[in-house]
Amino acid sequence: MRRHGEVGVLPTGLVTALRQLAGRPAVLLAFDLDGVLAPIVLDPADARPLPSSVAALHTLAGLPGTAVALVSGRPLEQLRKLADPPPGALLIGSHGAESDPPLDRVDVLDDAARQLLGRVRAELGRIVAAHPGTRLEGKPTAAVLHTRGAGRAVAAAATQQALQGPAGWTGVHPTLGKEVVELAVTDVTKGSALRLLRAAAGPAAGGVLYVGDDVTDERAFAVLDDDGGDVTVKVGPGDSLARHRVADPVAVARLLDLLAALRSGCSAR
Q: Which residue has the higher pLDDT, 186 or 125?
A: 125
Per-residue pLDDT, 187: 79
Average of per-residue pLDDT across 207-234: 94
| Exposed / middle / buried, residue 113 (Cβ in 10 Å: 0-12, 13-18, 19+) | middle
pLDDT confidence tier of residue 2, bands split at 50, 70 and 90: very low
Of the candidates 32, 213, 214, 217, the residue annotated as catalytic is 32
Tens of pLDDT, residue by residue over 75-131, are 899 999 999 999 999 999 988 888 888 776 545 677 888 999 999 999 999 999 999
What would the DSSP string read from start to end of 119-174?
HHHHHHHHHHHTSTT-EEEEETTEEEEE-TTS-HHHHHHHHHHHHHTGGGSTT-EE
Q: Is the pLDDT of residue 169 over 50?
A: yes
Tens of pLDDT, residue by residue over 7-43, are 346 999 999 999 999 999 999 999 999 999 999 988 8
Average of per-residue pLDDT across 137-156: 92
User: Is the Cβ–Cβ distance between 197 and 30 less than 8 Å?
Assistant: yes
pTM for the predicted model, two decimal places: 0.77
Is 225 noted as a catalytic residue in this protein?
Answer: no
Give the domains, in start order, of the chain with CATH numbers: 12-106+188-268 (3.40.50.1000), 111-184 (3.30.70.1020)
